[in-house]
Amino acid sequence: MPTESARVVIDLDLPGPTISRHLYGHFAEHLGRCIYGGFWVGEDSPIPNVGGIRSDVVEALRALRIPNLRWPGGCFADDYHWRDGIGPRDQRPRMVNSHWGDVVEDNSFGTHEFMALCELLGTDAYVSGNVGSGSVQEMSEWIEYLTRADDSPMAALRRENGRDEPWKVPFFGIGNEAWGCGGNLRVEQFASLARQYSTYVRNHAGNEVYRIAAGASDHDYNWTEVLMKSFGPLDGADGPAGPFQGISLHYYTMTGPWDDKGDATSFTEDEWYVALSRAAHMDELLTRHGQVMDRYDPHKRVGLVVDEWGTWWNVEPGTNPGFLYQQNTLRDALVASVHFDAFHRHADRVVMANIAQTVNVLQAMILTDPDTGALVLTPTYHVFAMNTPHHDARSLAAHVIAPEASRKVEGKALPLLSVSASSKGATAHVSLSNLDAAQERTVVLDLRGRDIAGFSAQVLTAAELNSHNTPEHPEAVAPRKLDGVRRHPRGLEVDLPAHSYATVALELGADD
């Protein structure tokens, strides 16, 4: 029997801030099998490819309408020297990827290959620049190489390497995790460097760059505060901030300590709840980093960019510990849906987010088999697919009112229903996550302000909390139609299976 109803009040005629599609961004680092084997197989591979880029991966990601792709790192970005990755592939210098497996990187995937990938995906490039071991000149020349149209030295070099037209690069990262792998810098030191490096990431040929300075980890509110102070007065409402426009935040979900983060597929019911409670902590982080930013920037001219988030488990047994390859279960799917609810609620400040990482690394959308090349779409992939209607829609406040079931997890109350909603034109979408491991739940959607002309719903769930997809069982966790939705005097009533994520699509009628 479903447990007693929860009621969710949504005012359909009071749309809030726009949920940027860039909240659904992705991240591809030179790490393990993300680039090599994941995106890039090389032109001579038996795996179908376009200029070396896997066609099946591109096709799967195009269906998600991924808005931007961050590259080349992560920690790798602060070791990366872009000139090593241009020109004839067989003449490119090699380097050691010291962060990730200590393997030799042959630079066969570089700037031109990344930009070709973005073009195939139809996505915006988010290039992450090297502050930790790179020079201001190197960063300045990279943006010139990428985006300048005339016969400047870097534009001419790009042409020599086969690309006439400049590319568009809307997003550029100024360092990564500068407090750690990006140089072990103190925040005051990095704030000065961020101002300096950003100044030389110039807008060429009408390419307007949004510069994102490496921000805090987790609850390091002081890092955010010092970066915000470095702007100087931001009390006017107009124009983009400068010299950088956004600051980042990184937060990963795990159930154990750093040296034993928890297993991806073998976990207890308690660990299910710990993971979801720690995922729900993203909301508090956004609130508190946002409060710090509000003190310096009341008009929200500076964006918060969560450019690394997701689950980080122990690697799959038998795989290289430096490659961060992990399975992905229904639990990961709900970690993602809870994050999206938080991003939607904070859409006025959070302008962009990037899950770590797209293929074969951490909380991936796609896993590929290193031997057979077989491709599997993960439960997390399906959450991204089900969320596409929220892209660039207007956020709607969704108030969960009593009785709101919750569970004490690590001393904090975890609400067992996570909700968010948005509207666009004559449609609205509601996301509902039932975090209860065992109990189904009936939810009343108290829909105010507009008539409901029609509705449909989808659900993602599975028999087990740790159900996951494999080449043998690629659809063990896949969305299906949700039949348990019916009209109710207040709007709609929805039966949510235990441990499930559902989206309800509404066709809006007249104002009521």
- Out of 25, 37, 67, 73, name the contact with ligand AHR by CB under 6 A: 73
Instruction: Give min distance, CB of 308 to ligand AHR, in A.
Output: 5
Of 73 and 134, the one with the shorter C-beta distance to ligand AHR is: 73
Active site residue 284: no
Tally of CB atoms within 10 A around 504: 24
- Could you say which of 79, 177, 446, 495 contacts ligand AHR (CB under 6 A)? 177
- Annotate each residue in 271-310 with x if it binds ligand AHR (CB under 6 A) or - if it does not, as one string: -------------------------------------x--
Of the residues 43, 177, 284, 464, which is catalytic? Answer: 177
29 is a site residue for ligand AHR (CB under 6 A): yes
Is position 177 annotated as part of the catalytic site? yes
78 lines the binding site for ligand AHR (CB under 6 A): no
Q: Measured between alpha carbons, how far is 400 from 390 in angstroms, rounded to an integer?
A: 19
Which CB, 308 or 493, lies closer to ligand AHR? 308
Structure tokens at 175: 């360092």
Burial of 25 (0-12, 13-18, 19+ CB in 10 A): buried
Instruction: Please give the helix or strand (H or E) that residue 308 lies within, else none.
Output: strand 303-311
What sign results for the dihedral spanned by CA atoms 291, 296, 302, 305?
A: negative
- Structure token pair of residue 488: 């109710």
264: phi then psi, degrees, rounded to nearest 5? -70, -35
Per CB under 6 A, contacts with ligand AHR among 338-357 are 356-357
Q: Which one, 177 or 495, has the nearer CB to ligand AHR?
A: 177
CB of 176 to ligand AHR, least distance (A): 5
In the structure encoding, which two tokens stand for residue 338, read together?
A: 């809870």
Q: Check residue 493 for interaction with ligand AHR (CB under 6 A).
A: no
Burial degree of 465 (CB within 10 A; 0-12, 13-18, 19+) = buried
Catalytic residue among 113, 308, 475, 493: 308
Dist. CA 144–CA 162, nearest whole Å: 16
Q: Characterize 310-319 residue by residue with b for buried, 16 or more Cβ atoms within 10 angstroms of its Cβ, and e for exposed.
A: bbbbbbbeee
Minimum CB distance to ligand AHR smaller for 155 or for 185: 185
Q: Does 175 bind ligand AHR (CB under 6 A)?
A: no
Distance, in Å, from the CA atom of 472 to the CA atom of 469, rounded to the nearest integer, reads: 8
Q: What x-and-dash track marks residues 422-451 binding ligand AHR by CB under 6 A? A: ------------------------------
The answer to the question of residue 176 lying near ligand AHR (CB under 6 A) is yes
Active site residues: 177, 308
Q: Which residues bind ligand AHR (CB under 6 A)?
A: 29, 73-75, 176-177, 308, 356-357, 362
